């Protein structure tokens, strides 16, 4: 996949770290719901780290999840993920930060 560092990837991309409990929760959500996604680790990946910092206005917040429609969720709860996947939250509502 050559569109990892864009706001319109061809699939869901989750930027994460191994030690992040929020990342583990997002992973569990995707797996429990049979949702395909690509995990990109920030450990030893400067390009991914810089992309996350750029998206989050200087913060290295994880998970940062980018959806094909351009929506971005940062440190989402299970309910926020469910709302996004079910279509009850629009991209413009998510990207207000």
DSSP letter (8 states) at residue 31: H
Model pLDDT, residue 54: 97
Which CATH superfamily is 13-94 part of?
Glutaredoxin (3.40.30.10)
Name which of 38, 22, 37 is nearest 78 in CA terms: 22
Distance of CA 65 to the CA centre of its chain: 1
Ranges in the chain, pLDDT < 70: 1, 88-97
- Give the list of residues 6+ apart from residue 19 with CB closer than 8 angstroms, or none: none
Bridge partners, residue 13, by sequence: 38, 66
pLDDT in the model for residue 2: 76
pLDDT recorded at residue 97:
44
Give the whole-angstrom CA distance, residue 77 versus residue 30.
12
Provide the pLDDT for residue 3.
Answer: 85
Backbone angles phi, psi at 5, to 5 degrees: -110, 55
Domain residue limits, the chain:
13-94
**Structure confidence by residue, pLDDT tens digits, 1-26:** 678 899 999 999 999 999 999 999 99
pTM, two decimals, is 0.88
pLDDT the model gives residue 89: 56
Distance CA 38, CA 11 (A): 7
């Amino acid at each position: 996949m050559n569109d990892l560092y864009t706001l319109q990837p061809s699939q869901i991309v989750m930027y994460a770290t191994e030690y992040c409990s929020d990342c583990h929760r997002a992973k569990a959500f995707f797996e429990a719901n049979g949702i395909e996604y690509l995990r990109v680790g920030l450990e030893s990946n400067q390009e991914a780290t810089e992309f996350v910092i750029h998206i989050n206005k200087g913060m290295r917040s994880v998970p940062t999840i980018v959806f094909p429609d351009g929506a971005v969720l940062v440190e989402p709860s299970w309910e926020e993920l469910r709302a996004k996947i079910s279509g009850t939250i629009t991209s413009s509502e998510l990207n207000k930060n």
